[in-house]
């Protein structure tokens, strides 16, 4: 099975603007593969390099060395992003647009025909439960509603690969449940989902495979039960892998 | 091209949903109508002072709209993080820059259309004449000037950190060119070397935006039409500068981190 | 509740205090205001002494409009525009213009300058002679200079020339005699002893209203004011005296008062820069006097 998403010895360095400050290495030769149809969790503490990895995959940041591919195409080519959907961590959209206008705008970028655009917009707004607010400007939306609009725009082109950066961040339990349902539905449709999250409980529930990254280094990758191993939970396994010493009560 | 047009459409939507244009338009209309209500020796046909005032207000308002609208495009996208989901689509940075430019420029064109229609109506109410071709020449070149200003502000938005500093610098540059651009060569001739050569080099390097600006006198005083070949040449000259600024903006944006 | 009552009592006390203060200050303010120049208090208050600078620039603006925008800047040769033509053409001012007014821009300095000249007014025209389109039927467009002259007068009410120039154009070109009279009367209110304004007013009465009696009165008043001027000022204002006395002479000549006309012409000749021209007028009157005295007496 060919990898939908692949990185080869991906290294990213950021040179500091401060005088005499060392270059910061965000990723140290990351090798990662995500197969078609799987839900892949990308885990790590803050500053581990998760967002940097996503930024490289999305073409925001060029790699210092190594390569990254989406559907076999180098990520530096815009066409590599034709079949992906992306939900950023913090979702802000054009406040003066309505949800419908925003989706229509993104649909145009994907060159979707008008009839298909109309159909997709209706479907997606129903999926994310924003039909009642489709004509309202986004500035009047709550955080949860904005997150849902973000999810809708990530799905506008019916992507084969979804890249989600902390999709449940800031959501209430109901919202988180809905996001999990959507991810499960996408998986059932054969889509590939690649997402980062701090909610390890959700990751355990939803993901087929996970990768754990720490200080730019890939520490572990495999099925959830393989990673969990002898540990009681994924959380304990995660803490152990990144080298965090827990205080144990006898 | 469709990506560029899609981005441009968003910019135009933003313009007519913000209050800037309406405020400036209403201010212009109010000031002109107040000045028109002044009784000048019981003569209802005096119109040129009104035309001059109206055209000056149109120029000031259009420059304010062009610079402030453009200066906030990329910084606002960065600040509001709308840039990330946008560039995650199959949209190149070059397309984004051109889309923003086209959107701002077309938006300025719509603004100018509204202003010049009002101007024509105001002038016709007293002159009872519609020299449409003259107005078209002035409005067309005015729009081209705004294209250069938009391109300059777009480049500035990528170079300067804050939209306010970019706006200020753009205003200063444009105002300086409009007021003294035509006379830099006279100033140069009066200087000793090496200042003469420096000022002369500067004189030839800057885009002469004052050429269409000074066309106002031709409109105010009912001069005949300018030859269309000169209009075309001036448009090409200014568009060359706009293109240069845009290319520079694309090159700068390519190297800028997105977040 | 005590708090709201206290609040309202305080408010009332404040209102009473403010009213009392205003009533106390009002007479002092009125006394202060009456010492100021009454006309155009708003602009004087707003701009101060710089109002004269603005007035001058608007006066020049009227001349620029007179030339349909074809006007020198500080970078051009403006020797032919030292005295605005809009004033020079009235004959009321001594012209300081020299040089060629049609070519102040000179030859183009470079190709950019040459190209730019297609986009600005580049020909010398006068509004009352057809304007930019050389269309004599539009000579009434000289009205366009009036707003700037009006504004200039408002900003600098002490500048007599503005009133006389405005009145000239209103009367001669626009045939607006009433408006011209209003302008001159306003000028007189601001400059009560102005010979120039009185002269122009007299011309209005004589040429437009054909009221020779009022014209005579006004011109004679102007002469009296001129005679009261110190000698240095009389030296500087010979032109206006010559104009007034010449017109008085012509008026008396037409009325048949030849001796009076002769007196006026002789007074004019004393200050005239062209005494020979005045001499011709004197000779004309003397001939008429001789003709009148040799005419047969009327039959009783």
Q: What is the pLDDT of residue A44?
A: 87
Q: What is the pLDDT of residue C237?
A: 87
Angle between helices B93-127 and B48-71 (to 10 degrees): 170
Physical contact, A and C (3 or more Cβ pairs within 8 A)? no
Report chain B's mean pLDDT, rounded to a whole number: 93
Residues of chain C with Cβ-Cβ distance to B182 below 8 Å are: 113, 116
- Rounded to 5 degrees, φ, ψ at B166 are -60, -45
Q: Name the strand (E) or helix (H) holding A181.
A: helix A173-188
Q: Which residues of B89-121 are buried (b: 16+ CB within 10 A; e: fewer)?
A: bbbbbbbbbbbbbbbbbbbbbebbeebbebbbe
Burial classification of residue B35, based on how many CB atoms lie within 10 Å of its CB (0-12 exposed, 13-18 middle, 19 or more buried): middle
Q: How confident is the model at residue C233 (pLDDT cuts 50, 70, 90)?
A: confident
Can you read off the two tokens belonging to residue A66?
Answer: 């190594």
Residue B42 has pLDDT above 50, yes or no: yes
Instruction: Work out the number of other CB atoms within 10 angstroms of the CB of residue A35.
Output: 15
Dmax (CA) of chain C: 110
Partner B contacted by A153 (CB < 8 A): yes
Mean pLDDT of B153-168: 94
Mean pLDDT of B181-200: 91
Residue A249 has pLDDT above 50, yes or no: no
Alpha-carbon distance values, C137 to B124, B150, C129, C142 (Å): 18, 43, 9, 11
Q: What is the pLDDT of residue C40?
A: 54
| Contact call for C119 and B234, based on CB within 8 A | yes
- End-to-end CA gap in chain B: 26
SS3 A127: helix
Q: What is the pLDDT of residue A20?
A: 66
Residues of chain A with Cβ-Cβ distance to B89 below 8 Å are: 81, 106, 109-110
pLDDT digit string, tens, across residues A69-123: 999 999 988 888 889 999 988 777 898 999 999 999 999 999 999 999 999 999 9
* Residue with more model confidence, B72 or C8: B72
Lowest model confidence (mean pLDDT) among A45-49, A138-142, A167-171, B31-35: A167-171
- End-to-end CA gap in chain C: 108
Q: What is the pLDDT of residue C242?
A: 93
Alpha-carbon distance values, A197 to A48, A169, A180, B103, C78 (Å): 12, 8, 12, 37, 76
Distance, in Å, from the CA atom of C129 to the CA atom of C146, rounded to the nearest integer, reads: 16
- Rounded to 5 degrees, φ, ψ at A4 are -75, -40
Residues of chain B with Cβ-Cβ distance to A60 below 8 Å are: 84, 87-88, 257-259
pLDDT digit string, tens, across residues B4-28: 999 999 999 998 888 888 999 999 9
Distance, in Å, from the CA atom of C211 to the CA atom of A199, rounded to the nearest integer, reads: 103
- Who's near A206: CB < 8 A, 6+ residues apart? A39, A41, A180, A183, A184, A187
Q: How confident is the model at residue A242 (pLDDT cuts 50, 70, 90)?
A: confident
Distance, in Å, from the CA atom of B49 to the CA atom of B127, rounded to the nearest integer, reads: 12
Burial classification of residue C204, based on how many CB atoms lie within 10 Å of its CB (0-12 exposed, 13-18 middle, 19 or more buried): buried
Mean pLDDT of C199-228: 94
Q: What is the pLDDT of residue A250?
A: 44
Distance, in Å, from the CA atom of B58 to the CA atom of C221, rounded to the nearest integer, reads: 51
Q: Which residues of B touch C (CB under 8 A)?
A: 38, 40-43, 45-49, 182-183, 185-187, 189, 203-204, 208, 210-212, 214-215, 217-218, 220-224, 226-227, 230, 233-234
In this prediction the ipTM stands at 0.90
User: What is the reported pTM?
Assistant: 0.85
Q: Which chains reach chain B with 3 or more Cβ–Cβ distances below 8 angstroms?
A: A, C
Q: What is the pLDDT of residue C2?
A: 54
| Contact call for A108 and B3, based on CB within 8 A | yes
Residue A3 bridge partners (DSSP): A35
Residue A35 bridge partners (DSSP): A3
Highest-confidence range of B189-193, C98-102, C180-184, by mean pLDDT?
A: C180-184
Residues of chain B with Cβ-Cβ distance to C133 below 8 Å are: 222-224
| Helix extents (H) in A34-172 | 50-57, 99-109, 114-127, 143-154
Q: Which chains reach chain A with 3 or more Cβ–Cβ distances below 8 angstroms?
A: B
Burial classification of residue C234, based on how many CB atoms lie within 10 Å of its CB (0-12 exposed, 13-18 middle, 19 or more buried): middle
Mean pLDDT of A183-201: 87
Instruction: Work out the number of other CB atoms within 10 angstroms of the CB of residue C4.
Output: 8
Can you read off the two tokens belonging to residue C191?
Answer: 């400059």
Residue B244 has pLDDT above 50, yes or no: yes
**Cα C125–Cα C126–Cα C129 angle in degrees, nearest 5:** 105
Distance, in Å, from the CA atom of B66 to the CA atom of B106, rounded to the nearest integer, reads: 10
Percent of chain C with pLDDT over 90: 47
- Cβ pairs bridging B and C (under 8 Å): 91
Residues of chain B with Cβ-Cβ distance to A169 below 8 Å are: none
pLDDT digit string, tens, across residues A118-140: 999 999 999 888 999 999 999 89
Can you read off the two tokens belonging to residue C155?
Answer: 């900003």
Partner A contacted by B254 (CB < 8 A): no
Distance, in Å, from the CA atom of B17 to the CA atom of B143, rounded to the nearest integer, reads: 21
List the single residue in B46, B218, B226 with the smallest CB-CB distance to C143.
B46
Q: What is the pLDDT of residue A183?
A: 87
Instruction: Work out the number of other CB atoms within 10 angstroms of the CB of residue B235.
Output: 17
Q: What's A125's DSSP letter?
A: H
Cβ-contact C124, C99 below 8 angstroms: no
Partner A contacted by B9 (CB < 8 A): yes
Measure C68 CA to nearest chain B CA, in Å. Answer: 5
**Cα A66–Cα A69–Cα A74 angle in degrees, nearest 5:** 85
**Cα A221–Cα A224–Cα A226 angle in degrees, nearest 5:** 75
Q: What's A98's DSSP letter?
A: B
Q: What is the pLDDT of residue C37?
A: 47
Q: How confident is the model at residue C299 (pLDDT cuts 50, 70, 90)?
A: very low
Q: What is the pLDDT of residue B95?
A: 95
| Contact call for A96 and B89, based on CB within 8 A | no
């Amino acid at each position: 099975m060919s990898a939908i998403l692949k990185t080869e010895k991906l290294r990213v360095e950021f040179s500091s603007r401060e005088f005499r400050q060392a270059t910061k290495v965000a990723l140290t030769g990351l090798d990662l593969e995500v197969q078609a149809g799987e839900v892949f969790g990308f885990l790590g503490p803050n500053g581990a390099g998760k967002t940097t990895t996503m930024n490289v995959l999305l073409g925001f940041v060029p790699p210092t060395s190594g390569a990254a591919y989406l559907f076999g195409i180098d990520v530096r080519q815009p066409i590599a992003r034709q079949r992906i959907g992306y939900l950023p961590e913090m979702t802000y959209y054009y406040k003066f647009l309505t949800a419908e206008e925003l989706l229509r705008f993104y649909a145009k970028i994907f060159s979707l025909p008008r009839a298909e655009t109309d159909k997709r917009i209706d479907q997606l707004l129903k999926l994310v439960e924003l039909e009642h607010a489709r004509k309202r400007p986004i500035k009047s939306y709550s955080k949860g509603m904005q997150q849902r609009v973000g999810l809708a725009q990530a799905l506008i082109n019916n992507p084969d690969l979804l890249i989600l950066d902390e999709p449940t961040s800031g959501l209430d339990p109901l919202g988180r449940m809905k996001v999990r349902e959507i991810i499960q539905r996408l998986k059932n449709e054969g889509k590939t989902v690649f997402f980062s999250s701090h909610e390890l409980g959700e990751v355990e529930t939803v993901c087929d495979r996970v990768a754990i990254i720490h200080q730019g280094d890939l520490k572990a990758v495999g099925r959830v039960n393989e990673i969990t191993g002898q540990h009681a939970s994924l959380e304990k396994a995660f803490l152990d892998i990144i080298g965090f010493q827990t205080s144990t009560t006898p | 091209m469709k990506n560029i047009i899609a981005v441009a459409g968003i910019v135009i939507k933003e313009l007519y949903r913000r209050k800037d244009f309406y405020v400036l338009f209403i201010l212009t209309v109010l000031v002109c109508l107040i000045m028109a209500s002044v009784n000048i020796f019981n003569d209802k046909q005096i119109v040129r002072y009104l035309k001059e005032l109206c055209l000056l207000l149109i120029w000031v308002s259009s420059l304010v709209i062009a610079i402030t609208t453009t200066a906030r495009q990329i910084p606002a996208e960065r600040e509001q993080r709308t840039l990330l989901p946008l560039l995650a689509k199959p949209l190149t940075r070059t397309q984004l820059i051109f889309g923003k430019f086209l959107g701002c420029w077309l938006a300025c064109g719509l603004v100018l259309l509204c202003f010049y229609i009002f101007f024509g109506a105001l002038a016709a109410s007293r002159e009872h004449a519609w020299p449409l071709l003259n107005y078209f020449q002035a409005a067309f070149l005015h729009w081209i000037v705004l294209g250069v200003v938009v391109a300059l502000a777009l480049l500035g938005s990528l170079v300067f950190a804050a939209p306010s500093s970019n706006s200020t610098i753009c205003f200063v540059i444009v105002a300086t060119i409009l007021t003294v651009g035509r006379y830099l060569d006279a100033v140069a001739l009066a200087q000793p070397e090496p200042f003469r050569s420096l000022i002369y080099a500067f004189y030839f390097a800057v885009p002469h935006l004052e050429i269409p600006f000074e066309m106002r006198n031709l409109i105010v005083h009912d001069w005949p039409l300018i030859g269309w070949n000169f209009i075309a040449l001036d448009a090409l000259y200014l568009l060359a500068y706009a293109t240069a600024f845009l290319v520079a903006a694309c090159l700068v944006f390519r190297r800028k981190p997105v977040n | 509740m005590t708090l709201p009552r206290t609040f309202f009592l305080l408010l009332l006390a404040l209102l009473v205090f403010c009213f009392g203060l205003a009533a106390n200050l009002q007479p002092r303010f009125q006394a202060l205001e009456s010492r100021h120049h009454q006309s155009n208090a708003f602009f004087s208050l707003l701009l101060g002494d710089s109002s004269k600078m603005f007035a001058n620039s608007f006066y020049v603006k009227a001349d620029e409009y007179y030339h349909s925008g074809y006007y020198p800047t500080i970078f051009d040769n403006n020797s032919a525009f030292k005295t605005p033509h809009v004033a020079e053409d009235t004959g009321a001012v001594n012209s300081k213009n020299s040089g060629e007014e049609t070519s102040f821009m000179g030859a183009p300095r470079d190709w950019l300058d040459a190209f730019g000249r297609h986009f600005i007014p580049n020909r010398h025209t006068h509004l009352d002679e057809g304007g930019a389109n050389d269309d004599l039927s539009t000579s009434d467009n000289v009205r366009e200079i009036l707003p700037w002259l009006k504004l200039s007068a408002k900003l600098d009410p002490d500048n007599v020339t503005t009133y006389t120039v405005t009145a000239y154009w209103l009367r001669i070109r626009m045939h607006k005699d009433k408006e011209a009279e209003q302008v001159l009367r306003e000028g007189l209110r601001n400059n009560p002893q102005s010979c120039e304004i009185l002269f122009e007013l007299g011309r209005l009465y004589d040429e437009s209203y054909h009221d020779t009696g009022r014209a005579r009165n006004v011109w004679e008043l102007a002469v009296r004011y001129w005679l009261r001027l110190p000698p240095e000022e009389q030296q500087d204002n010979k032109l206006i005296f010559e104009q007034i006395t010449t017109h008085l002479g012509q008026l008396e000549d037409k009325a048949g008062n030849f001796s009076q006309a002769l007196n006026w012409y002789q007074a004019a000749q004393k200050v005239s820069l062209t005494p020979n021209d005045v001499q011709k007028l004197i000779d004309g009157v003397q001939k008429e006097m001789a003709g009148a005295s040799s005419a047969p007496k009327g039959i009783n």
